[in-house]
Amino acid sequence: MPLYRARVLVSLRPSVLDPAGEATRAAAGRLGVSAIQRLRIGKAVEVELEADSLDGARAQLELLSDRLLANPVIENWALEQLEPATAEA
């Protein structure tokens, strides 16, 4: 069965406050990087999974993202990449 590699990006919905992002923006200002107007923190989840096809892999990833990787009440998710995995040298 083919192996697929994907990256799912999870971020807070725009209407949800991001205290970690605000704290990081403030810390950047203390380091002299004061031009940052907005900073939000998210997460990237890298997954390798076996599936019969690209469509099958996408369906499994959508299920995982909707029900496990992201909290649908406060977070959005996006599938950044989905590609067949290649042997790494």
The Cα 83–Cα 49 span in angstroms is 11
Instruction: Map out the domains of the chain as residue ranges.
Output: 3-84
Q: Specify whether the CB–CB gap between 82 and 58 falls below 8 A.
A: yes
Scanning the structure block, which residue is given the tokens 């697929």? Answer: 4
pTM: 0.84
Amino acid 86: pLDDT: 79
The CATH H-level superfamily of 3-84 is: Phosphoribosylformylglycinamidine synthase subunit PurS (3.30.1280.10)
DSSP 68: I
Nearest to 68 by CA among 51, 39, 43: 43
Taking the chain (89 residues) in runs of 10, the rounded mean pLDDT of each run is: 95 96 96 95 96 95 97 96 76
Residue 11: closest CA among 79, 61, 81:
79
